[in-house]
Amino acid sequence: MPNYQAGAQVVSISPGEMGLSFNAENPAAPQAGQEFYLGSSQQRGLLGVSLEAEWSAAPAAAVVELQVANNQADSSYVTVNTLTFTGAQKVLRCDPAGLSFRYARALLRSHTGAETLTARILSR
């Protein structure tokens, strides 16, 4: 069960804006964060999005995924990038480009430790 239900209070972000998918939270894995509407590829062409995951301290192990979808449903989301924390990293970022989608979110796939997670979705 995600922390934030797909379809509930979707926030729209425009190019250059940032939204917090997790905000200094300690969710139990697997958990999906807040989803964001970035517009349609027909409006903007291929979309750019970034995910920056930051922990309060370096976790022993954690996996955070960037997921995108064209429909506002949990079953529609696919993983386009994976950030793997191995004990030495506190912050990781991915910047995939050339994607066609409408919605983006972070998914905490796994986590060992008690650290809190802040996950930022950036529209480019």
pTM over 0.75: yes
The domain spans of the chain are: 11-123
The pLDDT score that the predictor gives to residue 1 is: 39
84 phi/psi in degrees, rounded to 5: -115, 115
Residue 43: the pLDDT is 59
Confidence label for 16 from pLDDT (cuts 50, 70 and 90) = confident
Looking at domain 11-123, its CATH architecture is: Sandwich (2.60)
pLDDT higher for 6 or 28? 28
Q: How far apart are CA 101 and CA 117, in angstroms?
A: 25
Lowest mean pLDDT among 37-41, 65-69, 120-124: 37-41
Tens-place pLDDT, residues 48-93: 889 999 999 999 999 999 999 988 889 999 999 999 999 999 999 9
Report helix, strand or coil for 113.
coil
Bigger pLDDT: 58 vs 38: 58
What pLDDT is attached to residue 48? 81
Locus of tokens 């191995």: 86
Contact 59, 87 (CB under 8 A): yes
pLDDT at 100: 79
